[in-house]
Structure 1
Amino acid sequence: MAYKAYGQVTQRTATGRALEIAVFEQITQALQTVHDNNGENPGEWGDAIHRNLQLWSIIAADVLSPENALPSETKAGLFSLSEFVRRTSMQVLAGADGLADIIEVNRTILAGLDGSASSVEQEVI
């Protein structure tokens, strides 16, 4: 109970960037857990994918907003990633592989948010 209260206070006081990082970390960890467990718990599996889809739907809506101040190339890239995640998620829900790809996208975005994108690029190359 105290942990929930602390989490609520943290959400209200965190900076935008810190909150983005926390959300990506939480959702990516949930995806990794269900991936590691080979989808043994269908409820957790479906919930993790659904929460990730919600996150990427919010990102897509945000980058399409005229008030979004990101450079056009960045917005286009994020929108493209959101579509990739959406399509791949639907395939995963239908039984195809692809969960690892979704996790990789989230980790790459997370690395960019926390400033370690250059190290991720080096790992991929």
Structure 2
Amino acid sequence: MSVSAYKRVQRDHESPRSVERRIFSRITADLETWGQAYDRAEDGLERLTALKGSLQLALSENMRLWALLRRDLSAPENALPTELKASIISISLTVDRLTSEILRGHGQVADLVGINRPFIDGLAGISGAEG
């Protein structure tokens, strides 16, 4: 079996939680990689230059991911406890606000990474006390 065929079979048999973790991990890794120059920038022009290309794409993907979570959590058939849904929706709105600040040349990409990491750990079954 070719590597691509193996990966396709693996993806077809992943749990939704595993898929979410994989997507969160990829996007967060992109934010970390491409956000370093932005976070180190000393002035607005450097930050805006760092936003071009890959960082802007990673920010957009991160916002889309959180918007999808928000939509899923708002669905009546979502079985998560109401308080947990409300907390995650609130966090998603914070992600939107922070991303808007970053796109204007303010804030730190590391803040978004810091929000995503606990979700990756949670999807992997790692509690905050263990992490």
Q: TM-score, normalised by structure 1?
A: 0.85
8 A Cα contact 2:31 2:59, kept in partner: yes
Aligned-residue sequence identity (percent) comes to: 32
Report the equivalent of 2:23.
23
Aligned length: 120
1:48 has 2:58 as partner: yes
1:106 has 2:80 as partner: no
8 A Cα contact 2:31 2:55, kept in partner: yes
> Runs ≥4 in structure 1, deviation > 6 angstroms?
none
8 A Cα contact 1:111 1:117, kept in partner: yes
Based on CA coordinates, which of the two structures has the bigger radius of gyration?
2
Answer 1 or 2: higher relative contact order, Cα 8 Å, separation at least 6.
2
CA deviation map 1:34-56 (0-9, x unaligned): 12243647210100000000000
Take 1:110 and 1:68, find their aligned partners in 2: how far apart are those partners? 20
CA-based RMSD of the aligned residues comes to 2.1
Report the equivalent of 2:99.
89
Report the equivalent of 1:63.
73
Task: Give ranges in structure 2 of 5+ residues lacking alignment.
Answer: 39-46
Q: TM-score, normalised by structure 2?
A: 0.81
